[in-house]
C-alpha cells in the first residue's frame, strides 16, 4: 500500500469510468418480523431492499437518493457488509463478496470504508483522535512508512485539522470537525471505495459545504470511488456523477446526473425534484407536484410498481406488472427507468399535479373566492 | 387584565400594523458552565396575517426566542429582559395565568418532531380537544366535532376513526398534520412554527408547506416560521430575519434578503448552499470556522471571527463595537453601504449562479 | 392482551419448574447430608438408615424430585399423615408440613410488605412528585436532603435505634410482634408499626429520589411542552401528561421490591425478631432442611414471576404503545 496521499494509486481519470469497481445484482435484504401465538414464528418481513442493481466504477461518485424507508442506508450497510444480504450478489473488483467470511473479507474490508451520518455517536468518546484514526491500521496490521502516528498527522492535515490535535478527544471538536475526523479514519487505509451515509445531514448549513468540499477533494485527488447516500437532492447533484433514485426498496431510476436532474422520466423523480424548496426559484416559475400521503409500509409494499399508490399516472397495468428498470427510448445510455407510463424528459410541466386531498379542497375553495 | 385594549406606545415601523412586537429581547440561561446569552438584544415585528421567517443555525437563538414569546422558557434557570407585545399586551411581565389564556388560543405553536411533541399516552382526538374545551369552554362533544372538522381540513383520511387513534398509529406526515390541526383548533392570530418540516421527507415537506400556506389564507393567522433552510423560507415567508449567535444580523422582505443580501453571514449561507440549478463547476464556498459558543461569545460583531470582509472595515471596529441593526430593511454590519454593494456584485453574486 | 397473559403464565410455570429442579439437584449435590447431621454424635448405621427411610432419602434422587413435584399438584401421603395440595413436603427438622408453616408465617411478611408499600408509595412517591413540581424550592431541597440521608441508612442500624428509643428506654411501645388482625386489630397495628415504619423509611427515601428524578425527566419531554403550549395549566400538565410517563420506572422497581419483600424481608424480620418468611428461609438453610428450603424458594419465586407479569400488565395499562403493539 502506498503511503503517499497525494499520489492516487488508482487513477480516477475520467468521469465515465469504463471499469467497474463494485457491482451489485439483485441485492435484497428482508428483516424478518416475529410474532404469532402460541409459538413465536416469522410472520412477515420488512422488505428494506428488494432486488436492486447498481454499479460503481473506479473513482466514480454515485449518489443514492430517496426518502426515509426507501432502503438507501440499508444498501450502504449491505455493501460494506455490516449487514448480511438476504439474496443477490455483491462483486467487488471482480471478487464475489456477497457472503464472504470475515477471513475472506479481510483484504477487501480495508478498501471499502464507511462514513456515518452522526459525527457525535460514531466516534468513541473515550479515545483520542489519534487512536480513533490509527485503529483501522492496527486492526488490519498495516504499518505505513514512517509509522502510524506520522500517517495520522498527515491525515489530520489532509482533512483540514491541526495535526497537533492528535491527543485531543472528540468532545473537544465541533460537529463539522468531528465529521472530518470520520473522513480521516475512513482514509487511513487508502480505500478504493467510500460509502458515505448522509455524511452532512447532521451538520449546520454553513458547515455542510466545508465537508462536501472536503469529500469532493478526496474523491478527485485520491481517485476514490464514492457511494454517496443522502436525501438532499441538491447536495447529491453537486457531488455525484451518476445518481440512483430509490423508492421503497427499489431503484426506480438511475442515470448520469444530467439525465436525472434535467431529463427525468420516472414520475417519482419528477415529484422529488418538484418538492425541493429552492432559493431563487419563484413559485410562479415552477409547476408543483404534490403527492398524497406518506410512503407505504415496506412490510406490505404495493403490488406491481411500488410507487403506483401515490402516482398520478397509475393504471391497472401498474398494479399487476412490475415495471422493469430499462433504458426508455429517448434516454441516454445508462439512463434506466422503471416505469410503464414515463413522463416527458423535462422538468417543465404545463400544470400543477396536486394529489393531496386537503390541498385540493383548500385551493379549490380559495380560487372560488 | 383580560381586556385587549391597545396601548399607545407601540408604533410599528413603516406604519404597518404590527401585531407582535419584540423589542430588545434578552434571554439568558444560567448553566453550570456559566451564563449563556441565548438571545441578546433582539427586535422584530410581525404583521397581522403575514409570515415572518426566522433563519439561523443551531444555537442562533431562533427557537429560544419563540419559546420566550409563548412564555415557555424555564423561569428557574432563565432571565428575560425587554418587551414582547402581542396585540397590545405586554407578555414578559404577564402573569402565568394570563399567558395560559393566550397560549393555544391567541397564539399557538407547531413543533419540529411530531412524534415526540405529541403525548404517546393520549389519543390524538383528546389532545386536539383539550385546548378547545379550555379556551372556548366547549363541551366534550363540541370539541370532538371541531377536532374532527380540523382533522379533515388538514387532510387526515377517515377523521372520525382516526380521532380515537394514538399518535404512534399515525405516519410521520399525518402526525404533523394532526399537530397543525391542534394548533389551529382555536383559530389563533399567531402561529409559531419551529422547523415544522425538518423531520419530514421532501415530498411530505412540500405537502405540509403548501398546506400551511393554504390554511393561512383561510385562517388569516400571522406565522413566525423558524427554519435553518433558506429554500423552505423563500417558499413560505413574506419577511425575513436572519439570526446569528443570539442576534439579528439582517432583516427585510424575503426577496430583498435572498436576492440582494447585505450581511456577510447571509452571503456565506447563500454561497455555501448547493442548488438544483447551480453551476457544477463552481465550488461551494463554505463559511470558515464554526458558530461560537454563547457562553463566551466574540466581542463586537459576533460574526467577525468568521467574516471574510472584516479587513475592509477601518480599525478594530468589528471586534470592538456591536454593529446596530436599523429599522426596516437593514443589516447589522460595519461595512458601508457602498462596500456592501460592491462586494455583493463583484464577489457574491457570481457564486450564486 | 389475553394471549400475552396466557403466554407469560405458561412461561412462568416452566420457569418455576426449572427453578425447582435446579434448587433440588444443587441441594442434593451439596456435600452435606441431612440424615447424618440429624443422626448426631453416637450414630449407628442402623439409626442412619432408619432416618433415611423415614425422610424418604433412600429413594433414588429422581424419584424424590418426582414425589416432591407431584405433591405440589396432587398432594402427598406421609407416614405422619396426608399432606394436601399444594404440598411442599414435610420439614426434615421440625416434621411440620412446609406449606402449613409458610402459611403461618406469611401474614407477618404480608403485613410488613403491604404496610410498608402504602407508606413508601404515598409518602415517598408523593414527596418526590412535590419536590419535582416545586423544583429548586425549599421543599425540594429538604426532600432531596432528607431522602439522601435516609437512603444511606440500613435497617439493622435504624432498627435497633428505634427499638432503644421507643421500646427499651421510654416504654412507649411494646416489643414488636405479630398478632393476627382477625384476633386483635389494634394489637396487630401496634405490634407491626415499628418494623413496618423502619423498613418503609428506607424505601421511602429511595422512592422519593426515584419519583423526583423520573418526574423531572418527564417534565422535560417535548410532549409536556406541547401541552403547555396549548395553554394547559402547569398542574394539569403535571398530573395528566408528565405523571404517566414517570410511573414506568416506579412500577418497574415496585414490582421487583414487592416480590422480593413477599419472598421474605430477612433483615427486618431478624432485627425485630419477627417470624416471617425471611426467617423461615434462614432456618431452612441453617438446618439443611431440603423441603423447607425448596418450599420457601418456590414461594418467593412464585411472587417474582407473578409481579413480573403484573408489571408488564401495568406497562400496557400506562402506555398505549405497549398495549397496541
Asked whether residue C176 is assigned to any structural domain, the reply reads yes
Q: A34 and chain C: CB distance < 8 Å anywhere?
A: no
CA atoms within 13 A on the CB side of C21: 8
Asked whether residue C178 is assigned to any structural domain, the reply reads yes
Return the higher-pLDDT residue of A362 and A245: A245
Which of B 273-292 lie inside 8 A of A, CB atoms?
Answer: 273-278, 280, 283-288, 290-291
Q: What residues form DSSP beta bridges with A73?
A: none
Q: What is the 3-state secondary structure (H, E, C) of C206-228?
A: HHHHHHHHHHHHHHCCHHHHHHH
pTM: 0.87
Please tell me which of the candidates A206, A273, A291 has its beta carbon nearest to residue B57: A206
Please answer yes or no on whether A278 and B276 come within 8 Å at the CB atom: yes
Q: What residues form DSSP beta bridges with A92?
A: A22, A95
Listing DSSP states for B52-112 in one string gives EEEE--TTSSHHHHHHHHHT-S-TTTEEEEEEEEETTEE-SS--HHHHHHHBTTTEEEE-S
Look at residue B45 and give its three-state secondary structure.
strand
CB contacts, 8 Å: A362 with chain B: 153, 211, 214-215, 217-218
Q: CA-to-CA distance for A264 and A279, rounded, in angstroms?
A: 21
Band of residue A5 on the pLDDT scale cut at 50, 70, 90: very low
pLDDT at C32: 65
What CATH number is associated with residue C138? 1.10.3720.10
Calculate the alpha carbon distances from A67 to B112, B123, B231, C7 in Å: 18, 28, 18, 39
Q: C235 and chain B: CB distance < 8 Å anywhere?
A: no
Residue C195's contacts (CB-CB under 8 Å, 6 or more residues apart) are C112, C159, C176, C268, C269, C271, C272, C274
Asked whether residue C24 is assigned to any structural domain, the reply reads no
Calculate the alpha carbon distances from A292 to A311, A354, B152, B203, C297 in Å: 9, 8, 14, 9, 60
Q: What is the 3-state secondary structure (H, E, C) of chain A?
A: CCCCCCCCCCCCCCCCCCCEEEEEEEEEEEEEEEECCCCCEEEEEEEEEEEEEEEEECCCEEEEECCCCCCHHHHHHHHCCCCCCCEEEEEECCEECCCCCHHHHHHHHCCEEEECCCCCCCCCCCCCHHHHHHHHHHHCCCCCCCCHHHHHHHHHHHCCCCHHHHHCCHHHCCHHHHHHHHHHHHHCCCCCEEEEECCCCCCCHHHHHHHHHHHHHHHHHHCCEEEEEECCHHHHHHHCCEEEEEECCEEEEEEEHHHHHHCCCCHHHHHHHHHCCCCCCCHHHCCCEECCCCCCCCCCCCCCCCCHHHCCCCCHHHHHCCCCCECCCCCCCCCEECCCCCCCCCCCCCCCEECCHHHHHHHHHHHHC
Q: A35 and chain C: CB distance < 8 Å anywhere?
A: no
Q: CA-to-CA distance for A43 and A335, rounded, in angstroms?
A: 38
Asked whether residue C158 is assigned to any structural domain, the reply reads yes
Asked whether residue C80 is assigned to any structural domain, the reply reads no
CB contacts, 8 Å: B278 with chain A: 234, 238
Residue A92's contacts (CB-CB under 8 Å, 6 or more residues apart) are A21, A22, A108, A111, A112, A193
Range of the domain at C256: 108-274
Please tell me which of the candidates B76, B105, B111 has its beta carbon nearest to residue C231: B105
Q: How far is C4 from chain A (nearest CA, A)?
A: 9
Query: What domains are defined for chain A?
Result: 20-246 (3.40.50.300), 248-368 (3.40.50.300)
Q: Closest Cα to residue A227, out of A8, A81, A12, A60?
A: A60
Instruction: Per residue of chain B (353 residues), give pLDDT as tens.
Output: 344 433 333 344 444 567 899 999 999 998 888 899 999 999 999 999 999 999 998 889 999 999 999 999 888 889 999 999 999 899 999 999 999 999 999 999 999 888 899 999 999 999 999 999 999 999 999 999 999 999 999 999 999 999 999 999 998 889 999 999 999 999 999 999 999 998 888 999 999 999 999 999 999 999 999 999 999 999 899 999 999 999 999 999 999 999 999 999 999 999 998 888 888 877 888 898 888 888 889 999 999 999 999 888 888 889 999 999 988 899 999 999 999 999 999 888 888 76
Asked whether residue C65 is assigned to any structural domain, the reply reads no
Band of residue A283 on the pLDDT scale cut at 50, 70, 90: low
Torsion of CA C7, C11, C12, C13, to 10 degrees: 110
Q: Closest Cα to residue A257, out of A12, A15, A75?
A: A15
Q: How far is B153 from chain A (nearest CA, A)?
A: 6
Q: A286 and chain B: CB distance < 8 Å anywhere?
A: no
Asked whether residue C126 is assigned to any structural domain, the reply reads yes
Q: How far is B124 from chain A (nearest CA, A)?
A: 18
Interface A-B, measured as beta-carbon pairs within 8 A, has a size of 157
Measured between CA atoms, the residue of chain B closest to residue C137 is B76
| Chains interfacing with C (3 or more CB pairs < 8 Å) | A, B
Q: CA-to-CA distance for C30 and C206, rounded, in angstroms?
A: 38
Task: Give yes or no for a contact between B80 and B27, defined as CB atoms under 8 angstroms apart.
Answer: yes
Asked whether residue C82 is assigned to any structural domain, the reply reads no
Band of residue A18 on the pLDDT scale cut at 50, 70, 90: low
Q: A37 and chain C: CB distance < 8 Å anywhere?
A: yes
Please answer yes or no on whether B117 and C245 come within 8 Å at the CB atom: no
Task: Give yes or no for a contact between A181 and A100, defined as CB atoms under 8 angstroms apart.
Answer: no
pLDDT digits (tens, 9 = 90+) for C128-173: 999 999 988 899 999 999 999 988 888 888 888 989 888 888 888 8
Q: C222 and chain B: CB distance < 8 Å anywhere?
A: yes
- Total structural domains within chain C: 1
Q: What was the ipTM of the complex prediction?
A: 0.87
Amino acid at each position: 500500500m502506498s503511503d503517499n496521499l497525494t499520489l492516487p494509486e488508482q487513477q480516477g481519470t475520467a468521469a465515465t469510468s469504463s471499469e467497474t469497481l463494485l457491482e451489485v445484482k439483485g441485492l435484497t435484504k428482508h428483516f424478518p418480523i416475529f410474532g404469532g401465538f402460541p409459538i413465536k414464528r416469522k410472520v412477515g418481513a420488512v422488505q428494506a431492499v428488494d432486488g436492486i442493481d447498481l454499479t460503481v466504477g473506479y473513482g466514480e461518485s454515485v449518489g443514492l437518493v430517496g426518502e426515509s424507508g426507501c432502503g438507501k442506508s440499508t444498501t450502504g450497510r449491505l455493501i460494506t457488509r455490516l449487514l448480511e444480504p438476504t439474496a443477490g450478489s455483491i462483486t467487488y473488483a471482480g471478487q464475489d463478496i456477497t457472503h464472504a467470511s470475515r477471513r475472506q473479507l479481510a483484504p477487501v474490508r480495508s478498501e471499502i470504508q464507511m462514513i456515518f451520518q452522526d459525527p457525535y455517536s460514531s466516534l468513541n468518546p473515550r479515545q483520542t483522535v489519534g487512536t480513533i484514526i490509527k485503529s483501522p491500521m492496527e486492526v488490519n496490521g498495516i504499518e505505513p512508512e514512517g509509522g502510524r502516528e506520522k500517517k495520522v498527522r498527515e491525515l489530520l492535515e489532509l482533512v483540514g485539522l491541526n495535526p497537533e490535535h492528535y491527543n485531543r478527544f472528540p468532545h473537544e471538536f465541533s460537529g463539522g470537525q468531528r465529521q472530518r475526523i470520520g473522513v480521516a479514519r475512513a482514509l487511513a487505509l487508502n480505500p478504493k471505495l467510500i460509502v458515505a451515509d448522509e455524511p452532512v445531514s447532521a451538520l449546520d448549513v454553513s458547515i455542510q459545504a466545508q465537508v462536501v468540499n472536503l469529500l469532493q477533494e478526496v474523491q478527485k485527488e485520491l481517485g476514490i470511488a464514492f457511494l454517496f447516500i443522502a436525501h438532499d437532492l441538491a447536495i447529491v447533484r453537486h457531488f455525484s456523477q451518476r445518481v440512483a433514485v430509490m423508492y421503497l426498496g427499489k431503484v426506480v431510476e438511475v442515470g448520469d446526473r444530467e439525465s436525472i436532474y434535467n431529463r427525468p422520466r420516472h414520475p417519482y423523480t419528477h415529484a422529488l425534484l418538484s418538492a425541493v424548496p429552492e432559493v431563487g426559484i419563484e413559485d410562479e416559475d415552477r409547476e408543483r407536484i404534490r403527492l398524497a400521503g406518506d410512503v407505504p409500509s415496506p412490510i406490505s409494499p404495493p403490488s406491481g410498481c411500488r410507487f403506483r399508490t401515490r402516482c398520478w399516472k397509475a393504471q391497472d397495468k401498474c398494479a399487476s406488472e412490475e415495471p422493469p428498470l430499462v433504458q426508455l427510448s429517448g434516454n441516454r445510455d445508462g439512463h434506466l427507468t422503471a416505469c410503464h407510463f414515463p413522463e416527458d424528459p423535462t422538468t417543465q410541466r404545463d400544470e400543477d399535479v396536486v394529489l393531496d386531498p386537503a390541498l385540493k379542497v383548500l385551493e379549490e375553495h380559495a380560487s372560488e373566492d | 387584565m383580560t381586556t385587549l385594549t391597545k396601548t399607545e406606545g407601540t408604533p410599528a415601523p413603516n406604519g404597518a400594523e404590527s401585531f407582535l412586537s419584540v423589542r430588545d429581547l434578552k434571554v439568558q440561561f444560567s448553566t453550570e458552565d456559566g451564563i449563556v446569552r441565548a438571545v441578546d438584544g433582539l427586535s422584530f415585528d410581525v404583521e397581522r396575517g403575514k409570515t415572518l421567517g426566522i433563519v439561523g443555525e443551531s444555537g442562533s437563538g431562533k427557537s429560544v426566542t419563540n419559546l420566550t414569546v409563548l412564555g415557555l422558557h424555564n423561569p428557574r434557570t432563565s432571565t428575560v429582559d425587554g418587551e414582547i407585545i402581542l396585540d397590545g399586551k405586554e407578555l414578559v411581565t404577564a402573569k402565568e395565568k394570563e399567558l395560559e389564556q393566550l397560549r393555544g388560543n391567541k397564539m399557538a405553536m407547531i413543533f419540529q418532531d411530531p412524534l415526540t411533541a405529541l403525548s404517546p399516552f393520549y389519543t390524538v382526538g383528546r389532545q386536539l380537544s383539550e385546548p378547545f374545551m379550555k379556551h372556548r369552554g366547549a363541551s366534550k362533544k363540541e370539541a370532538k366535532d371541531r377536532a374532527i372538522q380540523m382533522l379533515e381540513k388538514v387532510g387526515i383520511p377517515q377523521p372520525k376513526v382516526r380521532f380515537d387513534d394514538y399518535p404512534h398509529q399515525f405516519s410521520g406526515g399525518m402526525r404533523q398534520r394532526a399537530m397543525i390541526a391542534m394548533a389551529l383548533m382555536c383559530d389563533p392570530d399567531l402561529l409559531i412554527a419551529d422547523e415544522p418540516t425538518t423531520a419530514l421527507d421532501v415530498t411530505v415537506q412540500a405537502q405540509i408547506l403548501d398546506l400551511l400556506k393554504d390554511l393561512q389564507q383561510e385562517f388569516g393567522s400571522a406565522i413566525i416560521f423558524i427554519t435553518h433552510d433558506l429554500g423552505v423560507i423563500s417558499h413560505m415567508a413574506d419577511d425575513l430575519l436572519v439570526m446569528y449567535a443570539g442576534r439579528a444580523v439582517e432583516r427585510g422582505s424575503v426577496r430583498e434578503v435572498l436576492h440582494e443580501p447585505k450581511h456577510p453571514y447571509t452571503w456565506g449561507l447563500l454561497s455555501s448552499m448547493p442548488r438544483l440549478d447551480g453551476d457544477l463547476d463552481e465550488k461551494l464556498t463554505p463559511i470558515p470556522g464554526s458558530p461560537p459558543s454563547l457562553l463566551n461569545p466574540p466581542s463586537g460583531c459576533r460574526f467577525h471571527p468568521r467574516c471574510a470582509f472584516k479587513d475592509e472595515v477601518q480599525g478594530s471596529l468589528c471586534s470592538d463595537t456591536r454593529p446596530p441593526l436599523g429599522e426596516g430593511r437593514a443589516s447589522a454590519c460595519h461595512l458601508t453601504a457602498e462596500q456592501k454593494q460592491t462586494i455583493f456584485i463583484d464577489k457574491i453574486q457570481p457564486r450564486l449562479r | 392482551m389475553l394471549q400475552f397473559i396466557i403466554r407469560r403464565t405458561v412461561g412462568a410455570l416452566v420457569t418455576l419448574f426449572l427453578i425447582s429442579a435446579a434448587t433440588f439437584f444443587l441441594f442434593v449435590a451439596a456435600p452435606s447430608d441431612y440424615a447424618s447431621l440429624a443422626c448426631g454424635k453416637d450414630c449407628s448405621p442402623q439409626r442412619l438408615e432408619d432416618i433415611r427411610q423415614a425422610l424418604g432419602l433412600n429413594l433414588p434422587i429422581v424419584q424424590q424430585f418426582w414425589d416432591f413435584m407431584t405433591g405440589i399438584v396432587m398432594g402427598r401421603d406421609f407416614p405422619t399423615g396426608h399432606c394436601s395440595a399444594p404440598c411442599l413436603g414435610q420439614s426434615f427438622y421440625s416434621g411440620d408440613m412446609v406449606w402449613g408453616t409458610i402459611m403461618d408465617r406469611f401474614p407477618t411478611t404480608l403485613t410488613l410488605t403491604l404496610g410498608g408499600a402504602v407508606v413508601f408509595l404515598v409518602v415517598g412517591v408523593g414527596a418526590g412528585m412535590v419536590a419535582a413540581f416545586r423544583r429548586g424550592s425549599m421543599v425540594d431541597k429538604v426532600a432531596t436532603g432528607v431522602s439522601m440521608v435516609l437512603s444511606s441508612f440500613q435497617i439493622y442500624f435504624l432498627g435497633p435505634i428505634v427499638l432503644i428509643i421507643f421500646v427499651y428506654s421510654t416504654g412507649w411501645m411494646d416489643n414488636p410482634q405479630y398478632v393476627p388482625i382477625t384476633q386483635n386489630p389494634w394489637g396487630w397495628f401496634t405490634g407491626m408499626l415499628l418494623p413496618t415504619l423502619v423498613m418503609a423509611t428506607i424505601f421511602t427515601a429511595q422512592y422519593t429520589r426515584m419519583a423526583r428524578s423520573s418526574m423531572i425527566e418527564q417534565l422535560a419531554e417535548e410532549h409536556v411542552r406541547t401541552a403547555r403550549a396549548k395553554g394547559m395549566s402547569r398542574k394539569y400538565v403535571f398530573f395528566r401528561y408528565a405523571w404517566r410517563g414517570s410511573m414506568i420506572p416506579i412500577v418497574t422497581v415496585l414490582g421487583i421490591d414487592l416480590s422480593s419483600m413477599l419472598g421474605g424481608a430477612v433483615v427486618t424480620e431478624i432485627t425485630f425478631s419477627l417470624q416471617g418468611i425471611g426467617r423461615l428461609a434462614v432456618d431452612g438453610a441453617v438446618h439443611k432442611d431440603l423441603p423447607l428450603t425448596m418450599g420457601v424458594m418456590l414461594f418467593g419465586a412464585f411472587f417474582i414471576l407473578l409481579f413480573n407479569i403484573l408489571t408488564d400488565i401495568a406497562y400496557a395499562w400506562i402506555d398505549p404503545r405497549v398495549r397496541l403493539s
